[in-house]
Amino acid sequence: MISNPATKYRQFPVIALSDRQWPNKVIDRAPRFLSSDLRDGNQALIEPMSIEKKLRMFDLLVECGFKEIEIAFPSASETEFKFVRRLIEENRVPDDVVLQVLTQAREDLIVRTFESLKGCKQAIVHVYNATSPVFRQVVFNKSKEEIKALAVHGATLIKEEAKKYPETDWSFQYSPEIFSDTELDFAIEVCEAVCDVWQPSPQKKVILNLPATVEMSTPNVYADQIEYFCRHISRRESVVISIHVHNDRGCAVAATELAIMAGGDRVEGCLFGHGERTGNVDLITIALNLYTQGIDPTLDFTKMNKIVREVEHCTQLPVHPRHPYAGELVFTAFSGSHQDAIKKGLSQRKKDIESNNGAYWQVPYLPIDPIDLDRSYEAVIRVNSQSGKGGVAYLLEQDHGIEMPRRLQIEFSRIAQKEADTTGKELTSGVLYSIFEAAYFNAPKHVELLQHKMLGEDDEGNTTIHAIFKTNNQTIEVETTGNGPIAAFVKAINQSLNLDIDVVDYNEHARSQGAQASAVSYIEMQVGNRTLFGAGTHVNSSKSSYLAIMSALNRAIDKNWISLNH
Ligand SMILES: [Zn+2]
């Protein structure tokens, strides 16, 4: 960094809008949402999604309730084109979902874009060109008139091309790219010229998308830009003002919310804020912010765990553990005073509901009820010790060689807490280990593994095993094949006991306590819509993983999550 940044960077100029109205506005309903995960989000991935992953993402977006989905830049690559065709030809688009595609204002690209959409019921064609001074002068070397002419040319081509496909219900969208850095009056002039071509009406509106392609100012300045635009654009009742904010300054959510107050009708963004550089605005945060104000966001994120896993799978990017509403730690309280306040809040709420004494959510430190997102509130205890040792996880690792995965740490801390509460014992490292041992390694044996043997493995990694299980009233022998020993073993359990359990996470490490080294395995098991852990230890590492699965299975039976009556 340099000592005087003023010699290199300038302050973004304020907008002359002394009678701005937006600060007095209150958001009282959801905007229209468009997901750009398959376009803006996908474009910005280290490894762009394969068609299979795109299909999964599309289905997920539909499941979340998106009615407008920007699926591709079809003229940009063969994969993008094929994906659009596949959605249409395989009838994968629900009737109430509108596809959107992006194109530049060039004739060959526009022709190809319409070809990709042939046979589609309804679609939005989104055309853009850069309008800001830096792009005009440095990138394209074009005058304002030439830039405007380019937009008009694109708009005209699109209007003409659309006539060739009368079976589709077309809508048009124009973006003055880098709107955030374009002179406002010029942005309006270009949009007016585009609207002159498209001739929108209140019945057939045109979408004007005003991107903060790069976020350059405090959110209030962007809101001023939007209010100024809304006030000065003619045919306001015939245009939809769309907000598309990137997160360069880390304020995309705030900028989007203020822009809605300033007149924005529609918001474009991505799940968990994916997209170029720092990403687009995070639609999950925007939607759940509305929800916690009592406003129906029109999107459904109840299955948050599944959404996180699917998006991580498709994008190969992790969701931050502290991501608003979604991160694995956002409903976890570490501090004792927070835990205490939350506990009081939750029990007061229970009383209020029982006595019909109003049921508005007001629990300290929790802006949303985790149950609404299929999550639960978790309290993590830490063992306080004068000697300066850390928490439960630290003690088990240092003194007993147990390296719990993070979600298991959370699960186990509750077991340890309960034990401490009932016995009043101090949780020394030895006591903690015996609690761990009793809960996981020596979980009650409702089902026992009597024998197991690996029979073979083929070139594709398919493993065949033979196993014998014993329950209270029977002994069951099975032979199953699965993709690897763990999959084969889970299949053996499901088949023997007529269950539908799944392993969602697996960790293993070596432990050298005592004379010989052994393996410790941890399994996170999905049972219905819940998950729990099991742990096993053995000198043989496959045996240790089987024992971990048995531990999880027996713990689930013990909790009555699984019933063995069949
Ligand atoms: Zn963007």
Between the CA of 267 and the centroid of ligand 1 the distance, in Å, is: 11
Q: What is the mean pLDDT of residues 226-238?
A: 98
Query: CATH: 3.40.50.2300, 3.20.20.70, 3.40.1080.10, 3.40.50.11260. Which one for 30-315?
Result: 3.20.20.70
Distances (CA, A) of 330 to 192, 251, 321, 377, 378: 45, 20, 7, 9, 9
Identify the residue with better confidence: 550 or 432: 550
280 labeled part of a ligand binding site: yes
- Does residue 277 contact residue 268 with C-beta atoms inside 8 Å? no
Between the CA of 144 and the centroid of ligand 1 the distance, in Å, is: 23
Instruction: Measure the CA–CA gap between 374 and 530, rounded to whole angstroms.
Output: 9
- Tell the burial category of 180 from Cβ atoms under 10 Å away from its Cβ (0-12, 13-18, 19+): buried
400 labeled part of a ligand binding site: no
Between the CA of 246 and the centroid of ligand 1 the distance, in Å, is: 6
Q: What is the mean pLDDT of residues 413-421?
A: 82
What is the per-residue pLDDT across 33-59, written as a single tens digit (0 to 9) for each? 999 999 999 999 998 999 999 999 999
- Does residue 272 contact residue 284 with C-beta atoms inside 8 Å? yes
Between the CA of 69 and the centroid of ligand 1 the distance, in Å, is: 14
- Does residue 283 contact residue 299 with C-beta atoms inside 8 Å? yes
Between the CA of 509 and the centroid of ligand 1 the distance, in Å, is: 42
Between the CA of 40 and the centroid of ligand 1 the distance, in Å, is: 6
Map out the domains of the chain as residue ranges. 30-315, 336-382, 386-441, 447-558
91 labeled part of a ligand binding site: no
Per CATH, the number for 336-382 is 1.10.287.1400
- Does residue 101 contact residue 117 with C-beta atoms inside 8 Å? yes
**Residue 30's CB: how many other CB atoms inside 10 A?**
17
Instruction: Measure the CA–CA gap between 405 and 382, rounded to whole angstroms.
Output: 16
Between the CA of 276 and the centroid of ligand 1 the distance, in Å, is: 7
Single out the residue of 330, 222, 210, 315 nearest to residue 273, CA to CA: 315
Q: Which residues surround ligand 1, an ion (CB under 5 A)?
A: 40
Between the CA of 281 and the centroid of ligand 1 the distance, in Å, is: 9
Distances (CA, A) of 325 to 21, 272, 287, 316, 439: 31, 10, 10, 20, 30
Between the CA of 497 and the centroid of ligand 1 the distance, in Å, is: 50
244 labeled part of a ligand binding site: yes
Task: Say which range, 362-376, 412-426, 539-553, has the weakest mean pLDDT.
Answer: 412-426
Between the CA of 71 and the centroid of ligand 1 the distance, in Å, is: 13
Between the CA of 278 and the centroid of ligand 1 the distance, in Å, is: 10
The per-residue pLDDT for 335 is 76
Which phi and psi angles does 470 have, rounded to 5°? Answer: -130, 130
In 354-447, the DSSP E strands lie at 378-379
Size of the chain in residues: 566
Question: Could you tell me the pLDDT band of residue 385, with boundaries at 50, 70 and 90?
Answer: very low
In 291-413, the DSSP E strands lie at 332-333, 378-379
What is the per-residue pLDDT across 465-518, written as a single tens digit (0 to 9) for each? 999 999 988 999 999 999 999 999 999 999 999 999 999 889 999 987 665 789
Q: Give me the torsion for CA of 223, 224, 229, 231, rounded to 10°.
A: 110
pLDDT higher than 90, residue 393? no
Between the CA of 51 and the centroid of ligand 1 the distance, in Å, is: 21
Between the CA of 15 and the centroid of ligand 1 the distance, in Å, is: 23
Instruction: Measure the CA–CA gap between 340 and 355, rounded to whole angstroms.
Output: 23
The per-residue pLDDT for 354 is 86
Question: Could you tell me the pLDDT band of residue 399, with boundaries at 50, 70 and 90?
Answer: confident
Query: CATH: 3.30.470.20, 2.60.40.2250, 3.30.160.270, 3.30.1460.30. Which one for 447-558?
Result: 3.30.160.270
Between the CA of 212 and the centroid of ligand 1 the distance, in Å, is: 8
Instruction: Measure the CA–CA gap between 318 and 98, rounded to whole angstroms.
Output: 29
Distances (CA, A) of 510 to 197, 394, 441, 520, 536: 69, 17, 15, 6, 12
Q: Which of 247-251, 358-362, 418-422, 424-428 has the highest mean pLDDT?
A: 247-251
What is the per-residue pLDDT across 163-221, written as a single tens digit (0 to 9) for each? 999 999 999 999 999 999 999 999 999 999 999 999 999 999 999 999 999 999 999 99
- Does residue 180 contact residue 217 with C-beta atoms inside 8 Å? yes
Identify the residue with better confidence: 100 or 473: 100
The per-residue pLDDT for 390 is 43
Which phi and psi angles does 136 have, rounded to 5°? Answer: -60, -45
In 416-529, the DSSP E strands lie at 448-457, 462-470, 475-483, 502-511, 518-527
Q: Which helix (H) or strand (E) holds 122?
A: strand 122-130
What is the per-residue pLDDT across 274-319, written as a single tens digit (0 to 9) for each? 999 999 999 999 999 999 999 999 999 999 989 999 999 999 999 9
Q: Can you name the CATH fold of 386-441?
A: Arc Repressor Mutant (1.10.1220)
453 contact partners, CB below 8 Å, separation of at least 6 = 465, 466, 467
